[in-house]
Amino acid sequence: QDIAGFNIGILGGENAQDRLANHECLKTYTEEALGVPVKLFAPADYNGVIQGLLGGTIDMAWLGASGYAATYLADPEAVEPVLVKINMDGSRGYYSIGFARIDSGIASLDDMEGKAFGFGDPNSTSGYLIPAIEIPQYKDGVTMAPGEYFGDVVFTGGHEQTIVAVNNGDIDAGVTWADGQGAWEDGYNSGALRKAVDAGLIDMNDLVEIWRSKEIPEGPVVLRKSLPADVKAKMIALVDGMYDADPECTYNISAGESLGFDPIDHEAYLSIIAARQSQSE
């Protein structure tokens, strides 16, 4: 069967206008490859793209791992993961980093008893799902229910807001994402901390890392399952081969340096899905 158009949903920490601009090259390539008009959508939060995928109005997106799990749990037949970004060192993961202000005297989760802790967006893997599961494993007695171990647990709304909130002292510690490469004082090579440093919002001397998750798999590029097989094949080939064909465009769509994309499948996300399901209970 044929398709009349192709819609790409894009997420990420950059502002919408930059995101759209960065994906303009992908749009051009896709139009060439599929011969149909392509539209880009940059909704404000994960939920917008997830709803689009579930409703069948968005054909392709690059989701976070938790976002994929949410989509899968809502409708296993909606999308399939096809590709994942490869980092400069060849890894396919990143970390959730817990951090606090250095002058608060907090050095680890042990010092967080009775203090306020902040997550980002509930649909974020590193900003919520993984720390929500792994932090309680830190030691006995740690739970994520407000008022039990932590004095309060809040959602700040996103990585950027978490950083500002911790820096301001609104909350005592929070979690955000980083690639874990490079040095703490630079805010690592990439991630939300690095962006805040570059923007002049924070001084890494003021902050300290208090916790780090296990490696989190990068979120997959997903395609709607009901797309025609040839469309899927063309798109996979296009994105997979992008790094060789147009490194500049790869840089743009992966929001930084990377080694391009590699194929991946559903199995890689089983643990995340299980984690998400356990959080839903």
Partner 1 sequence: MAHPTTHHHDSYFDLVRRKRLYGGVMLVIFVLLLASGFRLADARNAGGFWDGLPKVFDFPADVVRDTAPKLDQLPGHMLHFLPSLIETINIAATATLIGALLAIVLSLLSTRGLARWPRLIGLFRRMMDIMRAVPEIVIALVLIFVLGGGPVPAMIAIAFHTVGALGKLFSEVNENADLKPVEGLASVGSRWGQQMWLGVVPQVLPNWFSYALLRFEINVRASAILGFVGAGGIGYELKNAMSWGQGRFDEAAAIFILLFGSIVLFDQLSSHVRNGLAHKGGH
Partner 2 sequence: MADAALYADADRRFARKRVIAIAIPAAILAYLVYVFLAFDISGLASRARWDNGAILLSDTWSHKVHVTRDNRAGSVSVAIEGEKKGTYPEGTAPDWVALDGETTVIELGDGHIVRFLPDNALSYEVPGFGLIRARIDGGEVVTNLDPDRLPDWISLSGTRLQITTDAGRVSLTRNRTEAFNYFPGWELFFFTLTSPYHGHTLTDILFGPRIDPERGNIAGAWHDFWNNQMWAHGQVAWAIFETILMAFLGTFGAALISLPLAFVAAKNFTPLGPLRFALRRVFDFLRGVDGLIWTILLSRAFGPGPLTGSLAILLTDTGSFGKMFSEALENVDNKQIEGVASTGARVAHRYRFGVIPQVTPVLLSQVLYFFESNTRSATIIGAITGGGIGLLLTQAMITQKDWEEVTYYIVLVVLMVMAMDSLSGWLRRKLIKGD
Of the pair 126, 156, the CB lying nearest partner 1 is at 156
171 residue type, one letter: I
**DSSP per-residue codes, 65-110:** HHHHHHHHHH-TTSEEEEEEE--TTS--EEEEEEEEEGGGT--SGG
CB of 141 to partner 2, least distance (A): 29
Looking at beta carbons only, is 56 or 151 nearer to partner 1? 56
Tell whether residue 78 is a contact of partner 1 (CB under 8 A): no
Take residue 193 and report the two structure tokens written for it: 């901390």
Cβ pair 223, 99 in contact under 8 A: no
Please choose, out of 41-49, 178-186, 217-225, 244-252, the segment that lies near partner 1 by the rule CB under 8 A: 41-49
* Site for partner 1 contains 172 (CB under 8 A): no
168, 183, 200, 248: residue in contact with partner 1 (rule CB under 8 A): 168
State the burial class of residue 266 (Cβ atoms within 10 Å of its Cβ: 0-12, 13-18, 19+): middle
- The reply to whether 17 sits near partner 2 by the rule CB under 8 A is yes
Say whether residue 209 binds partner 2 (CB under 8 A). Answer: no
Instruction: Name the token pair of 70.
Output: 């949410």
Toward partner 1, which CB reaches closer, 222 or 242?
222
Using an 8 Å Cβ cutoff, are 10 and 41 in contact? yes
- Which tokens belong to 115? 């203090």
Cβ 194 to partner 2, closest distance in Å?
A: 11
CB distance 242 to 234 below 8 Å: no
Binding site for partner 1 (CB under 8 A): 7, 9, 39, 41, 45-47, 50-52, 54-58, 70, 73-74, 121-123, 154-157, 161, 164-165, 168, 170, 277, 279-281
